[in-house]
Structures are given as C-alpha cells and as structure tokens.
Amino acid sequence: MEVVVASGKGGTGKTFIASNLTYFIWREEGVAVGVDADAEAPDLLVALGGSRRRINAREVRESRKARIDPGKCTGCLRCFEVCRFNAVDVRGGVPSIIEEYCEGCGACAIACPAGCIDFYVARTGYINVDESAAGPIIVTADLEVGGRNTGDLVYLAKEEGRRLAWELGARHVVVDAAAGIGCPVISSLAGADLLIVVVEPTPPSLKGAKRLLDVAEQFRLRAYLILNKYDLAPDYAEKVAEELGIEVLGRVRYDRVVAEAYASMEPLLARDPQHEVSKTLTSIFKHLLECVLH
Ligand code: SF4
Ligand code: SF4
C-alpha cells in the first residue's frame, strides 16, 4: 500500500513521522521503500542517516521552456504583454525569456506575429535512489534550483518507488509529501491508498489540515490523524481532532529528544527505542500495520 504522510502546513513533524514509520516498517518486515516528495527541500534521507550507498541517479528533463530567436524578433513586445508568469524580461526594447520563471504555457508563441518563439526541454531535477544509513531504500525527488515542475518530478519519484517496492518485495511505500496543498502535494496524493495527516495543536496547523483534507477528498483517500506535540495545548488538540473528524491514530508528546535525534540524523526509534516517545510511535505504527494496512 502507498501511505502518504502530509500536513497542509510546514513544521508539524511530518518528516519525523514519515522517517520513523519507514524505519519501523523496515525493522518489522526487513524491507521498506520511502519516497521524499518534498522536491524543493528533500530531507527524508537525512532523517534516516544520509546515504550509505547511492543506487541510482536519474536526470529528469520534463520542463518545456520558451526561447526567442533574436534574428527574427521585431520588438513588438506582444510576448511581454501576454506572459502571465513575468517570464519575459525586456531590456532596451529587446525581450528575453527568464528560464526559471517560464512555465512553458505557449501563450507567447501563439501571440508572436513573427513566429520567432520556439521551445526546448530543460532539466527539471533528479530522481535519486539511495540505501539510507538506517536501512530503508529512499527515492528522492530533487528539484533543480529555480525549477518549478515539482508535480512531474513527484509523479516520477512515486513511480520509481512503486517499481522498487515491487522489485524488492516491499509491501508498503511511505511518501513524505511537501508542506501545503500545492502541485507536489496533489501529485503525492494521486494514486495513494491512505493519508496520514500530521497536525500540531495550533490554529494554522488545523487550517492547513482542513485544506489538505478537502484536496484528499477528491481522491477518495482514507485519512487518519496523528496529533504531534499534543501536550503543548491538550485542549486545543482535542478540538483539532473533533473538527477534522477523522480517526486519530495516536497522540505524540513534545520532547527535545525528537530534535536531538533529528540533529544526529537518526530515526528516534533507532536512537532511543526505549524512550516514551518511541514507545508511543511503536504503538501507533503497530496498529497501523496490523489493523489498517493489513
Ligand atoms: S512577440 Fe515575437 S516579435 Fe514580438 S517582441 Fe516578442 S518575440 Fe519579438
Ligand atoms: S511559455 Fe508561457 S510562461 Fe513561458 S515565456 Fe511564454 S508565455 Fe511566459
């Protein structure tokens, strides 16, 4: 099954949950595949100790970009007028395309009376596959600096994750989604079996989770809740659970060992398996494997 861990807002502990879940599955089943779908700031591999061995790295070229033939350009600036992405720069009456901003929509080429705009395919980023130091195999969507087609890259990373899971006999793929509800998150949710929403007891986190669940509903995804750092505001945590109205998988308390584990690049379950927070995680993940993902 494909399990997406998402939050609708950054900083809630999503990667903490995703990395420990991937590690837990690896420890229980001997094999686990994780996909880091946060292409702009991937850190799932880091949370699992970094790379022990690079298995594969593939360049992805999926980004269509416009270019202007200066020899044919008449300087009418129709391209500048129609571009909604501010990707046409004009200096001294001469237009040029800013590659990082260009979405390849084609409006400028349609508008250009001189027919001097065509397209090329630029690098979107990389799909890296690593054996993490902690054990699980991690597929990372790594966006080119200034790149934008994160949805495509996430789609390809998930495809690679599914292929590897099939090849290695892994029963589950854990996807660590990007924060928010943008294109990469939508790609993360597409085709998944289950969503775990990680929420902290704050109004922005609740708001983000509600928006995320609205998107997930369109994919008819089963959704479950993990209340992270719930003890920082226990009453509000219960309000979050009530307002979201989805099954609560568990409540994880705040503890500085979480930050310490992250700083040492180790999943908490490996670093300190007897700690109270590790015991909570173990109980949540056991229930998930035995009662939800069976
Ligand atoms: S629309 Fe075409 S001809 Fe006009 S300025 Fe742009 S590139 Fe040049
Ligand atoms: S292809 Fe679209 S985004 Fe790119 S320069 Fe032309 S109008 Fe702007």
pLDDT digits (tens, 9 = 90+) for 107-126: 999 999 999 999 999 888 99
Looking at ligand 2, which residue's alpha carbon is closest to its atom 6?
Answer: 108
Q: Whose CA is nearest to atom 8 of ligand 1?
A: 73
Residues 242 and 204 in one domain: yes
Tally of domains within the chain: 2
Is residue 44 within 8 A of residue 173, CB to CB? The reply is no
Q: Of all helices (H) and strands (E), which one includes residue 235? A: helix 234-244
Looking at the structure, tell me whether residues 86 and 141 fall in a common domain.
Answer: no
One domain for residues 140 and 193: yes
Q: Which H/E stretch holds residue 4? A: strand 2-6
What mean pLDDT value characterizes the chain?
93
Same domain, 284 and 219: yes
Do 209 and 131 have their domain in common?
yes
Of the three residues 122, 140, 159, the one that is the final residue of a domain is: 122
Say if residue 136 is in the same domain as residue 216. Answer: yes
Q: How many CA atoms lie within 13 A of 241 on its CB side?
A: 16
pLDDT of residue 182: 81
Reading the block at residue 31, the tokens are: 């094999």
165 lines ligand 2 (CB under 6 A): no
Identify the domain boundary among 85, 102, 122.
Answer: 122
Confidence of residue 62 (pLDDT cuts 50, 70, 90): confident
293 Cα–ligand 1 center, Å: 56
Average pLDDT over residues 257-284: 94
Token representation of residue 106: 């084609």
* Cα(208)–Cα(227) distance, integer angstroms: 14
Q: Identify which of 110, 132, 112 has the alpha carbon closest to the alpha carbon of residue 26.
A: 132
Examine the pLDDT at 262 and tell me if it is beyond 90. Answer: no
Q: Does residue 200 share a domain with residue 87?
A: no
- Decide if 1 contacts 103 (C-beta within 8 A): no
Taking the centre of ligand 2 as the mean of its atom positions, its distance from the CA of residue 184, in whole angstroms, is 21
- Give the CA dihedral 211, 215, 221, 225, nearest 10 degrees: -10
Indicate which atom in ligand 2 lies nearest the CA of residue 104: 1
> Is there a single domain that holds both residue 74 and residue 174?
no
Shared domain check, 10 and 142: yes
Pocket of ligand 1 (CB under 6 A): 68, 73-79, 95, 111-112, 114, 116-117
The confidence score (pLDDT) of residue 148 equals 66
Average pLDDT estimate for 145-154: 76
CATH number at residue 28: 3.40.50.300
150 shares a domain with 244: yes
Residue nearest to atom 7 of ligand 1 (CA): 73
Could you tell me the distance, in angstroms and rounded to a whole number, from the CA of residue 73 to the centre of ligand 1? 5
Of 82, 90, 116, 118, the residue with max ligand 1 atoms within 8 A of its CB, to mutate for a pocket test, comes to 116
Surface-to-core class of residue 17, CB atoms within 10 Å of its CB (0-12 exposed, 13-18 middle, 19+ buried): buried
CA of 88, nearest ligand number: 2
Residue 44 Cβ contacting ligand 2 at under 6 Å? no
32-41, 140-149, 226-235: range with lowest mean pLDDT: 140-149
Query: How far is 98 from 4, CA to CA, in rounded Å?
Result: 34
Answer yes or no: do 80 and 174 share one domain.
no
Token pair for residue 223?
């959704």
pTM: 0.86
Interval between CA 179 and ligand 2 midpoint (Å): 27
In whole angstroms, what is the distance from residue 127 CA to residue 202 CA? Answer: 34
Amino acid letter, residue 37: A
pLDDT for 149 equals 62
Separation of alpha carbons 258 and 205, rounded Å: 19
Q: Which of 154, 258, 151, 150 is nearest to 200 (CA)?
A: 258
CATH number assigned to the domain comprising residue 84: 3.30.70.20
Whole-angstrom CA distances from 60 to 122, 177, 228, 251, 289 are: 9, 19, 35, 39, 34
Distance 110 CA to ligand 1 centre (A): 10
**Probe residue for ligand 2, chosen from 88, 110, 117, 119 as the CB with the greatest number of ligand atoms within 8 Å:** 88
Same domain flag for 79 and 152: no
Which residues span the domain enclosing 94? Answer: 63-122
Reported as a pLDDT band with limits 50, 70 and 90, residue 175 is: very high
